[in-house]
Amino acid sequence: MVEVADDFDVAIAGGGIGALTAAVHAARMGRSTLVLGGRAPGGLLLSIERIDGVPGFPEGVAGYELCPMLQEQAADDGAEVRMAELEGLEPAGKGWRLATSDGDVEARAVILATGARLRTLGVKGEERLQGRGVSHCASCDAPLMRDRTVGVVGGGDSALQEALTLADAVGEVIVLHRGDALSAQAAYREPALAHPKISVRYATVVEEVLGDDAVSGVRTHDVASGETQDVELGGLFIYVGLEPNSEYLRGRLDLDDDGRVPTDATLQTDLPGVFAAGIVRRGSLGQAAISAGEGAAAAKAAHRYLNDGAGAEQESTPAASAARGNGGSHG
Ligand SMILES: Cc1cc2nc3c(=O)[nH]c(=O)nc-3n(C[C@H](O)[C@H](O)[C@H](O)COP(=O)(O)OP(=O)(O)OC[C@H]3O[C@@H](n4cnc5c(N)ncnc54)[C@H](O)[C@@H]3O)c2cc1C
């Protein structure tokens, strides 16, 4: 018999903007709310020097400023935030028992907002030199690479946004892009192409990261000419897409081919009372404001589910009962 430490109306897995926004809204609707915030709160945004496109911050906002604010807001609204990971879930009564890195908990509704991590290249030398010149965090590691020439792998928004951050701090930035055109939005593409410290090598695939104790360069393959070349670099920043954090769902939920969680229009998954929000969700569009909006929508859907669905047949907290039938809509 597994001992269950706690019982919540809504448990939210994830520590990023999607999860923390869901927590704010679930707690404000009177639901006892637990956030399983993973190992470190903040998600992908935490290390971004200047997050663009978040309403209310016309000049952008630093991840290290925004992420603690989100967590504080969720806690102030009554959500309990624990630094624990969701490891699996199984039906229990009319809700779910969640196995976490901090013991089991139960919840009548669950919101999965576990986001994604940056993809690796999977080439020789990359893993060995991780933290020794290979990085996924421009704002953290740029100050250590002053005056060096560094490489950025990728051609999308993340790659060019981070190339611009790096260009403020390092000597030179070479963007290594496998395609023949950059896919980044104009707001990043144009300043990057105009920047005197940034150059782009197209049709270039990184085959190996070179260096003994630290990155000394990369071996590249030119897709057009077939030529191999060694490029001298003092650091390498990799932004070649995202890998959803959804492994803990395998065997419980059918994921799509990319590992993302399918939902219906109300953000409910195939499992009753289990919702998904943010970039772990199939069809989510990859911006912070969108993850936040989905988090709020999933909280609202979970609240409705608890009012109307199977979860409503169970006892809930007095605060939840008071909130029933009143989702607090501004609409
Ligand atoms: C380099 C870069 C720059 C970007 N710049 C911008 C920008 O300027 N503007 C913008 O709008 N967007 C930007 N984005 C996109 C933005 O980061 C994402 O849209 C946003 O972070 C998604 O939020 P999320 O909450 O869905 O997921 P995430 O931010 O990925 O958060 C998921 C959280 O869940 C945690 N977690 C994982 N597994 C578990 C588990 N099993 N249990 C519990 N917790 C778990 C993770 O540790 C993480 O804290 C950028 C992305 C990158 C990579």
Q: Is the CB of 95 under 6 A from ligand 1?
A: no
Q: What is the pLDDT of residue 280?
A: 98
Read out DSSP for 37-91? --SSTTGGGGG-SSB-S-TT-TT-B-HHHHHHHHHHHHHHTT-EEE---EEEEEE
Q: Is the CB of 53 under 6 A from ligand 1?
A: yes
The Cα–Cα gap between 299 and 231 comes to 49
Q: Is the CB of 17 under 6 A from ligand 1?
A: yes
Task: For residue range 44-59, list pLDDT tens digits in order.
Answer: 999 898 999 999 999 9
Q: Which two tokens stand for residue 32?
A: 């006892």
Q: What is the pLDDT of residue 3?
A: 54
- Residue ID of nearest Cα to ligand 1 atom 1: 158
- Residue ID of nearest Cα to ligand 1 atom 3: 158
Q: What is the pLDDT of residue 324?
A: 35
- Residue ID of nearest Cα to ligand 1 atom 30: 115
Q: Is residue 112 within 8 Å of residue 14, measured between CB atoms?
A: yes
Residue 148 has pLDDT above 60, yes or no: yes
The Cα–Cα gap between 129 and 126 comes to 5
Q: Is the CB of 100 under 6 A from ligand 1?
A: no
Q: What is the pLDDT of residue 327?
A: 45
Q: Is the CB of 278 under 6 A from ligand 1?
A: yes
Q: What is the pLDDT of residue 323?
A: 36
Interval between CA 41 and ligand 1 midpoint (Å): 10
Residue 306: its H or E element: helix 288-308
Cβ-based neighbours of 265, under 8 Å, separated by 6 or more = none
Burial per residue of 275-286, b for 16 or more beta-carbon CB atoms within 10 angstroms, e otherwise = bbbbbbbbebee
- Residue ID of nearest Cα to ligand 1 atom 47: 38
Whole-angstrom CA distances from 27 to 267, 300, 301, 303, 316 are: 18, 10, 13, 10, 13
Interval between CA 322 and ligand 1 midpoint (Å): 33
Three-class SS state of 205: strand
Q: Relative to the CA of 86, which ligand 1 atom is closest?
A: 42
Average pLDDT, the chain: 91
- Residue ID of nearest Cα to ligand 1 atom 46: 43
Interval between CA 16 and ligand 1 midpoint (Å): 5
pLDDT band at 111 (very low <50, low <70, confident <90, very high): very high
Phi and psi, residue 203, nearest 5°:
50, 35
Interval between CA 312 and ligand 1 midpoint (Å): 32
| Residue, of 309 and 80, whose pLDDT is higher | 80
Q: Relative to the CA of 288, which ligand 1 atom is closest?
A: 11
Q: What is the pLDDT of residue 315?
A: 39
- Beta bridge partners of residue 51, listed in sequence order: 61
